[in-house]
Amino acid sequence: MRIRFSLEHLLPLSFFFGFLIAYTIHFKMDMFVLIADYFVKAFLLFAPLIIFIILFTSTCSLKAEREIPGTIAKVSLILYGSLVIISSIFASIVLSIFSKQGPIMPISAGVYSHVLQVIFTSLSRPVSLAILIGFVTPFIFAKTKHFQKILNASRHVYSAQARFFEILIKIFPVFCLSLGATLYYNLGKLAMSAYLISIGSVFVLGMAVLASLSLTVHKFAFKDVKHLSKYSVRAFLAGLSTGSSYITLPMHLKIFNQYFKLDKRVSDFILTLGASLNRCGSVMGVLIVTFVSASFSNYQISWQQMLSLAIPVALIGFGSPGIAGGTLLVNLPAILDVLSPSSPEKFTSTALALFIGGTMFVQVAVNTVANGYVALLVDYVTERTK
Mean pLDDT of 305-314: 93
Distance (Å, whole) CA 285 – CA 363? 6
Distance (Å, whole) CA 263 – CA 256? 11
Structural domain count, the chain: 1
N-terminal to C-terminal alpha carbon distance within the chain: 44
Mean pLDDT of 74-100: 94
What are the counts of helices (DSSP H) followed by strands (DSSP E) for the chain?
17, 0
pLDDT score, position 2: 46
Mean pLDDT of 347-358: 88
CB 321 within 8 A of CB 45: no
pLDDT score, position 367: 96
Q: Is residue 1 part of a domain?
A: no
Q: Is residue 149 part of a domain?
A: yes
pLDDT score, position 384: 75
For the purposes of burial, counting CB atoms within 10 Å of the CB of 302, is it exposed (0-12), middle (13-18) or buried (19 or more)? Answer: middle
pLDDT score, position 248: 94
For the purposes of burial, counting CB atoms within 10 Å of the CB of 194, is it exposed (0-12), middle (13-18) or buried (19 or more)? Answer: buried
pLDDT confidence bin for 386, thresholds 50/70/90: low
- Report the CATH number at residue 72: 1.10.3860.10
Q: Is residue 228 scored above 50 in pLDDT?
A: yes
pLDDT score, position 108: 79
DSSP helix, strand, coil percent of the chain (3-state; round to 5): 80, 0, 20
Q: Is residue 276 part of a domain?
A: yes
Question: In sequence order, what DSSP letters do the residues of 306-334 get, joined into one string?
Answer: HHHTHHHHHHHHTT--SSTTHHHHHHHHH
CB 107 within 8 A of CB 312: yes
Q: Is residue 142 scored above 70 in pLDDT?
A: yes
Nearest to 292 by CA among 186, 181, 205: 205
Q: Is residue 365 scored above 70 in pLDDT?
A: yes
Looking at every residue in the chain, the average pLDDT score rounds to 89
pLDDT confidence bin for 255, thresholds 50/70/90: very high
Mean pLDDT of 16-29: 91
Of the chain, the percentage scoring pLDDT greater than 70 comes to: 95
Mean pLDDT of 92-97: 95
pLDDT confidence bin for 124, thresholds 50/70/90: confident
pLDDT score, position 260: 92
Mean pLDDT of 336-340: 88
Question: What is the number of other CB atoms lying within 10 angstroms of the CB of residue 38?
Answer: 12
Q: Is residue 1 scored above 50 in pLDDT?
A: no
Q: Within 13 Å, how many C-alpha atoms sit on residue 317's CB side?
A: 30
Q: Is residue 2 part of a domain?
A: no
pLDDT tens digits, 38-56: 999 899 889 999 999 999 9
pLDDT score, position 180: 93
Distance (Å, whole) CA 308 – CA 106? 8
Domain that holds residue 374: 7-385
CB 234 within 8 A of CB 10: no
Q: What is the largest CA-CA distance in the chain?
A: 67
For residue 127, the Cα-to-chain-centroid distance in whole angstroms is 14
pLDDT confidence bin for 158, thresholds 50/70/90: confident
pLDDT tens digits, 313-327: 999 988 776 666 678
